[in-house]
């Protein structure tokens, strides 16, 4: 083997990735495109396993829950030893923290998978770890109390029921690992992904290396004057140019009737008032924007976060002009999967796999940042400053840091939906809550 071949072999051995909660491998593909090599995947979902096998038949794969998997088994399957993993990557199940779900948070069986991720970090000691989750993790409580059980007439909130308590618990657990950890909120559209998808990333360094959130490369058209040198967000029109759609979920007759009355960029609020109840059902009596109901997308901007059910009543992502949801092929393009990537399972199962994935371009940006960090360390070496960072968990975004500092402790129904509507009693209840 020539000198160049030997160097490439060493890089592949050094830049190793162990993938947990692999899913359809969006994050892994992004890290690979940045120069890393996935050595093993771990996935429990049978359909996602079939997708991985269809595309990466030679990839060692652990086909069971992380709870049933020891660190020794992961290392053995990856043909690595403790401390030899470059990046341990994964997104523990996020539904428990999503604002679209029941938000049972860390008290939920799935929410506690975060602790299993920490266990594997603790027992394998990778050089870096990358953990991804939904934006809702920033405001979730350790114990979720339904809105109908808050306010006057109910007990004050405990500390674990306050907004943000889950994040504080997560930060405390990460600090115990002895890593230097940063976290921030990233919008995928800022990194060339044709999608306005907000996700929280936690990035940890075992040796206190200088990790940071990747610098954005794109921005909204209105921001270009203030952010010179950046490219415009990738629009839906540009992303879907030339895409041939073959598979999509069929809308029900009622939803098709409503959507057919809308133009690109419109939603339920643009329908005649007499149709609002039909479009929203019981949600008409609630509050909030409810923008996902009967929603047609715009051509001239990136779409919002791809949901796992683009045909759902509250999560609709309808094509701007065709009377159907975005297709499987369009979903895959918007998440930046390779053209030849094969998704297995039913159409519903494919939507779930693609919708849950990290966009490839976002994973690539994280990977490139880590590569730059590694190159800097190789050039300058580690110092006492690096080691003194270990055990610190810091917010890497000044704006987010300020928001976290000033966030409210809870949220109440508007007075019209409360059991006791007195405003002063509501203020007293808020003051009494931890």
Neighbour order of strands in the sheet with 180-187: 61-62, 37-42, 16-20, 87-90, 128-134, 198-205, 180-187, 393-395
Contact between 73 and 2 under an 8 Å Cβ cutoff? The reply is: no
Question: Nearest CA to 131 among 307, 337, 355, 363?
Answer: 363
Of 93, 94, 219, 318, which is the active-site residue?
94
Q: Which residue has the tokens 């094969």?
A: 342
Q: Which residue has the tokens 């000198």?
A: 3
How far is the C-alpha of 118 from the C-alpha of 114, rounded, in Å?
6
How far is the C-alpha of 90 from the C-alpha of 130, rounded, in Å?
7
**Both tokens of residue 138?**
């920033």
Cα 328-329-331 angle, rounded to 5 deg: 65
* Residues whose CB falls within 8 Å of the CB of residue 353, separated by 6 or more in sequence, listed in order: 23, 24, 47, 48, 51, 343, 345
Q: What is the DSSP letter of 392?
A: -
CA distance from start to end of the chain: 65
How far is the C-alpha of 141 from the C-alpha of 163, rounded, in Å?
5
**Both tokens of residue 330?**
């369009």
Question: Is 162 a known active-site residue?
Answer: no
Helix (H) / strand (E) element for 432: namely: helix 423-432
How far is the C-alpha of 431 from the C-alpha of 434, rounded, in Å?
8
Count of CB atoms situated within 10 Å of the CB of 300: 13
Contact between 65 and 400 under an 8 Å Cβ cutoff? The reply is: no
Residues annotated as part of the active site? 94
């Amino acid at each position: 083997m020539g000198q160049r071949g030997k160097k490439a072999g060493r890089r592949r051995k050094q830049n190793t990735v162990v993938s947990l909660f692999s899913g359809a491998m969006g994050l892994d593909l992004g890290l690979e495109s940045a120069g890393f090599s996935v050595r093993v995947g771990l996935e429990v979902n049978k359909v996602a396993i079939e997708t991985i096998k269809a595309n990466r038949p030679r990839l060692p794969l652990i086909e069971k829950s992380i709870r049933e998997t020891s660190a020794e088994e992961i290392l053995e399957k990856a043909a690595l030893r403790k401390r030899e993993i470059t990046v341990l990557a994964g997104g523990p199940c996020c539904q428990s923290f999503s604002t679209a779900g029941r938000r049972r948070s860390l008290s939920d069986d799935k929410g506690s998978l975060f602790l299993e991720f920490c266990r594997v970090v603790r027992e394998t000691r990778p050089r870096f770890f990358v953990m991804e989750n939904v934006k809702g993790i920033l405001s979730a409580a350790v114990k979720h109390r339904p809105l109908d059980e808050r306010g006057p007439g109910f007990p004050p909130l405990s500390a674990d029921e306050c907004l943000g308590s889950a994040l504080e618990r997560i930060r405390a657990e990460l600090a115990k690992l002895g890593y230097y950890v940063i976290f921030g909120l990233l919008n995928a559209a800022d990194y060339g992904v044709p999608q306005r998808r907000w996700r929280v990333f936690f990035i940890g360094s075992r040796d206190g290396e200088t990790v940071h959130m990747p610098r954005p490369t794109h921005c909204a058209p209105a921001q270009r004057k203030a952010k010179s040198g950046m490219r415009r967000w990738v629009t839906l029109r540009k992303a879907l140019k030339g895409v041939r759609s073959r598979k999509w979920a069929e809308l029900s007759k009622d939803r098709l009737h409503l959507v057919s009355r809308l133009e690109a960029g419109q939603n339920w609020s643009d329908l005649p008032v007499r149709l609002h109840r039909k479009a929203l059902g019981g949600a008409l009596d609630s509050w909030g924007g409810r923008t996902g109901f009967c929603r047609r997308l715009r051509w001239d901007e990136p779409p919002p976060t791809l949901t796992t059910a683009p045909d759902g009543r509250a999560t609709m992502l309808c094509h701007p002009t065709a009377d159907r949801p975005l297709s499987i092929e369009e979903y895959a393009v918007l998440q930046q999967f390779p053209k030849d990537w094969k998704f297995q399972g039913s159409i519903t199962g494919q939507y779930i796999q693609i919708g849950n994935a990290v966009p490839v371009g976002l994973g690539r940006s994280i990977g490139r940042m880590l590569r730059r960090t590694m190159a800097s360390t190789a050039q300058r070496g580690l110092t006492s400053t690096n080691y003194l960072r270990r055990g610190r968990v810091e917010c890497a975004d000044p704006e987010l840091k300020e928001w976290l500092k000033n966030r409210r402790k809870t949220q109440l129904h508007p007075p019209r939906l409360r059991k006791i509507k007195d405003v002063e009693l509501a203020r007293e209840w808020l003051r009494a809550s931890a």
